[in-house]
Structure 1
């Protein structure tokens, strides 16, 4: 079911910006944190992209995502150095100029006793028409324009900024998940009954996540839906289908 067919579905994309992510020098954890935060709000994280510090690539990716989804969250590239070009790219994508935001200037003058060099002033630039996103941790705020929220790349700061983003978003019905654990059988054995149940319920998400370790091997089958009652029925149906295929070591588990 598409977002247009499901009025309860609200979608968001994440655009991760930075050469350091693509090079492997920095491990991204923001995507995980954003996904968890959005799920509580009932917003589906529908797509994530990572792009380098190249203005046109940021512009192209942003325009593609903001036209397709209800919201876009960007992370990274709003610091004081020459390669922090996220604000430039977002202004270009929206066809507006950048301006020094007076609130950010005042905030930085207070912090640095009025001494603002060119690098620090870069962090005060906001696209014309943009509004600030609070930064409760340290440093200048992020900003929002249109359906785009621009946040810092530093995880602790990004998480703090998210708290000001959530109330500005239209939430949907939260997705609920339940997990069926299959032990001692590989994905080849469970594929047919899993596919049959998935085909019978195209409005639900069914995924298989294999595990291997000292405790043995198998798969955790995760079913997701916005309808808890319907979800319970599909869990029972899946367990019955697996047992009908001769797979006996099957049980539902609680996942924190």
Structure 2
């Protein structure tokens, strides 16, 4: 890993998030990390392309890690690195890389200094990781995350995950940031804009246009989001979208 953030020369830097935990799949715990990571990465020029959720099963964790790390520049996992028997992310990631699981010496030192006499066998599990892993600082609760290859393993607790992501960010290479602008189509349904919006999208191949409908109980609004890495291309598409919205709104008022 580099010591500072570097630009990727125009090539997109991509990422995936892998959320690990039975509690997410059962609905007992509501995920609060995917959206945060997505926005964070977008802001530093990394494209989040995929998010998955897998149970606490070693083979399923390993299969997902191997699929994602081969496809994307970075993989970020959350969950499963705590002190209980079902915290098996270390085992799953180690299995994916074909590595043994060890108690990382520096992680043991950090936990010993922080916990003192409270460091028992259960808490010592938080020092388990694949041999060769590098630690990720945890400024909140000290128990470190870790990275192996292009896989970054973080806690599931949002505040801890966010601190770890802050520690990771300076080591990541980044691409050109994705720009975006939103045009509010008040009073418009997706069906109103769908046809002409397709024509605008075709006319602007360097731009991505998405439509997102909302209903406030009285009327529909469709937000049209224009995205591009090129400010001039985005502005040209935005002008066409704004003209479309103005024309359709005028027709409704008539």
The two structures share one fold, judged by TM-score above 0.5: yes
Aligned: 1:72 with 2:81: no
SS of aligned partner of 2:85: coil
Aligned counterpart in structure 2 of residue 248 of structure 1, from 244, 247, 250? 250
CA shift, 1:243, in A, is 4.8
Partner of 1:183: 186
Q: TM-score, normalised by structure 2?
A: 0.91
TM alignment of 1:116-131, pairs within 5 A: 116-131=119-134
Aligned counterpart in structure 1 of residue 216 of structure 2, from 213, 226, 232? 213
CA distance in 1, matches of 2:251, 2:12: 35
TM alignment of 1:8-23, pairs within 5 A: 8-23=11-26
Partner of 1:157: 160
TM alignment of 1:86-105, pairs within 5 A: 86-105=89-108
TM alignment of 1:52-71, pairs within 5 A: 52-71=55-74
Note the residue ranges of structure 2 that are not aligned, 5 or more in a row. Answer: 1-8
- Between 1 and 2, higher relative CO (CA 8 Å, sep ≥ 6) is seen in 2
Moved over 4 A (4+): none
1:177, 1:224 within 8 Å by CA — same for their partners in 2? yes
- Tell me: CA distance 1:20–1:79, structure 2 relative to 1, closer, same or farther (3 Å): same
Kindly tell me the number of residue pairs found equivalent between the two proteins.
244
Note the residue ranges of structure 1 that are not aligned, 5 or more in a row. Answer: 1-5, 251-256
1:77, 1:152 within 8 Å by CA — same for their partners in 2? yes
Partner of 2:174: 171
Q: Deviations over 1:55-92 (max 9, x none)?
A: 11111111000000000000000001111000111111
SS of aligned partner of 1:78: coil
Q: TM-score, normalised by structure 1?
A: 0.90
1:193, 1:238 within 8 Å by CA — same for their partners in 2? no
Partner of 1:254: none
CA distance in 2, matches of 1:115, 1:158: 23
Partner of 1:201: 204
